[in-house]
Chains A and B, each alone.
Chain A
Amino acid sequence: MLHPILFFLFAALCVGGAINLLVQKHPINSALSLIVVMASLALIYLLLGAEFVAAVQVIVYAGAIMVLFVFVIMLLNAGAEERTAGSRIAAVLGIPALAVAIGLGLYVTLQHGITGDVALGSTPGYPHAVARPLFREFLLPFEVTSVLILIAIMGAVVLAKRSE
């Protein structure tokens, strides 16, 4: 009984945050809405029983990546968006088109019944359950991902370095 209520609450928070991100004019408000989206996703993971992934979502996404976003917006002193004629036309045409597309997608999905049920705690979410496959079956992708991140860091350093 409580499970659907909580799920719809967190899902409404997530969707509300996402719509607010699109609607806000100032980038810092959009960044804060994105933080709300990340946090509500972490809560939905908690509902599924994936506690480790929820904690890591908060620590990494909401606590580090979004801090960098907010940092850059503050440093660059990005101002509020301006509403021009072009953007108004885009809104008038685009929002109904988007609503139609989402409605179509929902209709097709519900018609073919490719949704399923996930019970709470069906997949164990404690750290051991995540760590064992990560370091045994998926060790090669794990190591390759770390090399990928290293390449990205080196690329960022090279691009941002002052040319001597």
Chain B
Amino acid sequence: MSITAFIIAAVIKIVITIVVLLTAVAYSVWLERKVVGRMQNRWGPTRVGPFGLLQPLADGIKFILKEDLTPPHVSRGLYILAPMLAVSMALTSIAIIPIGPNITIGGYTTPIQITGVTNAQGQSTDIGIGLLIILGITSIGVYGIALAGWSSNNKYSLLGALRASAQMVSYELALGLSLVGVLILAGTFSLREIVQQQQTQSWFGILPGWYIFPQFIAFFIYLMAAFAETNRIPFDLPEAETELVAGYHTEYSAMKFAMFFMAEYANMVTVGCLASVLFLGGWSGPVFGPPIVQSLLPVLWFGLRLFFFIFLYIWIRGTLPRFRYDQLMAFGWKFLLPLAIANIVITGLVVALRA
């Protein structure tokens, strides 16, 4: 397997993934406006194109053509760095996520994952520490928000940024610890191997071997920690319009604001992908048909799970009020963290007693 073929395949995969991811981000904004509108008994966007489907295009054109003004009192370097950091971290973590098994095009076999390779025997492998890399990228993403608020030289932005970073750091703990239960059962950090193990096992012979069944508490904790990590309702106090003007992205306009917006929805997509891979069995589902359809059907099953998570995000946004800041922190530290640790203890006990 030559290096040039690998590099060409990787570049093609990256281009396809970026196009699909940015389209998914744009259309999840459309979906949110439609679904939240319907929940609030109104239409949502309907004017631009059928069902308002060209609304993201119109929004994109607006963002590009709007005046991108930099207020005079900001710290220039950090002001420009912060949205770039936020959006690059949000888009990078999709590289580790496995979306499907091997696909063979023109005699070249490669797994449907940017960082995956197929060795000479046809086995597909990926990075041995995939999950840790995603957690690391999430940890660095906090800086985008903290620096945005700091560089804006504005008390509302600073307060919003401090609240957001404190919230994200607190819920990162619960997020990581909730995933330890799955790791104990799976025995590996590699995301592809976790999915493959879920495909080859089954609980009591009738349930599919997904980790949501033994780890439903961890799934619950993961969902809530993920809502807090991505700063979504009910945890979106850092962006609360009624309290902090617009929080950490008050002073940003046009393209830089669009970058923060994209980063938020890209984080939602990443968290949904991770939940599908770790708890819902990745791309497992019935495959049939000619070989090229067989390679692409798993992507469809993965996409259905991802769509379910994004719909869940939007559904909860339309339904729940937001937490007050002290309620939010108490919930993270006093409820989710002890529950996650208890889940680890019970999982470890069960695994140790069975072996």
Residues on A close to B: CB < 8 A?
A: 28, 32, 35, 51-52, 55-56, 58-59, 62-64, 67-68, 70-71, 74-75, 126-127
Most buried by A among B135, B139, B189: B139
Kindly list chain B residues whose C-beta atoms are within 8 Å of the C-beta of A67. 139, 142-143, 146, 165, 169
Kindly list chain A residues whose C-beta atoms are within 8 Å of the C-beta of B162. 71, 74-75
CA distance A8 to B270 in the complex (A): 33
Stretch in B105-113, B126-134, B250-258, B332-340 touching the partner: B126-134
Q: Shortest CB–CB separation between residue B254 and chain A, in angstroms?
A: 25
> Does A35 lie within 8 Å of B143, measured CB to CB?
yes
> Does A59 lie within 8 Å of B136, measured CB to CB?
yes
CA distance A59 to B141 in the complex (A): 11
Instruction: Name the CB-closest residue of B to A26.
Output: B75
**Does residue B166 face the partner (Cβ distance < 8 Å to A)?**
yes
CB<8 Å pairs between A and B, sample of 22: A28-B150, A51-B127, A55-B132, A56-B132, A58-B136, A59-B132, A59-B135, A59-B176, A62-B136, A62-B140, A63-B136, A64-B139, A64-B169, A67-B146, A67-B165, A67-B169, A71-B146, A71-B166, A74-B146, A74-B149, A74-B162, A127-B128
Kindly list chain A residues whose C-beta atoms are within 8 Å of the C-beta of B132. 52, 55-56, 59
Per CB-CB distance, the 5 closest pairs between chain A and chain B, nearest first, are A63-B139, A55-B132, A58-B136, A59-B136, A55-B129
Kindly list chain A residues whose C-beta atoms are within 8 Å of the C-beta of B128. 51, 126-127
Task: Tell me the interface secondary structure of chain A in the complex.
Answer: helix
**Does residue B306 face the partner (Cβ distance < 8 Å to A)?**
no
Q: On chain B, which size bracket covers the interface?
A: 20 to 34
Instruction: Name the CB-closest residue of A to B162.
Output: A74
User: What is the 8 Å Cβ interface bit string for chain B, positions 139-157, against chain A (1 contact, 0 not)?
Assistant: 1101100110110000000
* 17 additional contacts (CB under 8 A) given A71-B165, A74-B158: A51-B128, A51-B129, A52-B129, A55-B129, A55-B133, A56-B132, A58-B136, A58-B139, A63-B140, A67-B142, A67-B165, A70-B143, A71-B146, A71-B162, A74-B150, A74-B161, A127-B129
Kindly list chain B residues whose C-beta atoms are within 8 Å of the C-beta of A63. 136, 138-140, 142, 172
Q: How many A-B pairs with Cβ below 8 Å? A: 64
Q: Shortest CB–CB separation between residue A131 and chain B, in angstroms?
A: 11
Q: Shortest CB–CB separation between residue A37 and chain B, in angstroms?
A: 14
Q: Which of B164-192 contact A (CB under 8 A)?
A: 165-166, 169, 172, 176, 189
Residues on B close to A: CB < 8 A?
A: 78, 127-129, 132-133, 135-136, 138-140, 142-143, 146-147, 149-150, 158, 161-162, 165-166, 169, 172, 176, 189
CA distance A106 to B299 in the complex (A): 56
Instruction: Name the CB-closest residue of A to B173.
Output: A64
Q: A71-B162, A74-B162 are in contact. Are A58 and B146 (CB under 8 A)?
A: no
Instruction: Name the CB-closest residue of B to A62.
Output: B140
Q: Shortest CB–CB separation between residue A85 and chain B, in angstroms?
A: 28
Q: Shortest CB–CB separation between residue A29 and chain B, in angstroms?
A: 8
> Does A70 lie within 8 Å of B146, measured CB to CB?
yes
> Does B165 lie within 8 Å of A55, measured CB to CB?
no
CA distance A49 to B128 in the complex (A): 12
Instruction: Name the CB-closest residue of A to B151.
Output: A28
Instruction: Name the CB-closest residue of B to A75.
Output: B162
Q: Shortest CB–CB separation between residue A55 and chain B, in angstroms?
A: 4
Q: Shortest CB–CB separation between residue A162 and chain B, in angstroms?
A: 16
Kindly list chain A residues whose C-beta atoms are within 8 Å of the C-beta of B161. 74
Kindly list chain B residues whose C-beta atoms are within 8 Å of the C-beta of A68. 169
Kindly list chain A residues whose C-beta atoms are within 8 Å of the C-beta of B189. 127
Kindly list chain B residues whose C-beta atoms are within 8 Å of the C-beta of A126. 128-129
Instruction: Name the CB-closest residue of A to B132.
Output: A55
Instruction: Name the CB-closest residue of B to A28.
Output: B150
Q: Shortest CB–CB separation between residue A128 and chain B, in angstroms?
A: 9
CA distance A51 to B147 in the complex (A): 28
CA distance A161 to B142 in the complex (A): 27
CA distance A62 to B138 in the complex (A): 11
Q: Shortest CB–CB separation between residue B276 and chain A, in angstroms?
A: 22
CA distance A63 to B150 in the complex (A): 17
